[in-house]
Amino acid sequence: MSTGKIEIICGDEGSGKTAMALGKAVQAATHQQQVVIIQFLKGSRRQENLELYKRLEPEMKIFRFEKADCYFDELTEDAQREECLNILNGLNYAKKVLSTGCCDLLVLDEALGLIDQKIITEKDLQLILEYRDETDVILTGKILPDEICRMADKVERAEVLS
């Protein structure tokens, strides 16, 4: 039986979902926990952010498997198909991280967006989460699918500050 907690951070675009998740990841790292972050649907446009995050290694390891330099929904249909293969590699890596228990916290940034973009199904994500054993998982995204919500121990809503 899985004992790792699932936390969901959802909200509109630009509401600080990633910032909240990264804050929780830094907090875990300060408590000597190993953290793995896998970002989806970000493209490589924000590469400067990725370089900043990489300076937090080895306590926090961050990965992006996508190769395009723009957001997924800006790609042509052919490019989206190719990028889906990279995304699936990222999900397979997430499954490996969970099944080996090599970290204390796994952040799947914008994983809920993969459901919204119809790259994976809610059931696909559920199956990955079932590998978690004692690893805690944070998911972010704009949508909050019912079945994933039922699996969650905590759901937070990120709000755009006016």
3-state secondary structure 24-78: HHHHHHHCCCCEEEEECCCCCCCHHHHHHHHCCCCCEEEEECCCCCCCHHHCCHH
Class of domain 6-157: alpha beta
Domain definitions of the chain by residue range: 6-157
Please, which contacts does 47-51 make with residues 24 or more away whose CB atoms are closer than 8 Å? Answer: none
What number of residues does the chain have?
162
Residue 101 to residues 29, 36, 84, 132, 151: CA-CA distances in angstroms? 16, 11, 25, 7, 19
Read off the pTM: 0.92
Query: Tens-digit pLDDT profile for the chain (162 aa)?
Result: 568 999 999 998 888 999 999 999 999 999 999 999 999 988 665 555 667 777 778 889 999 888 888 788 888 999 999 999 999 999 999 999 999 999 999 999 999 999 999 999 999 999 999 999 999 999 999 999 999 999 999 999 988 765
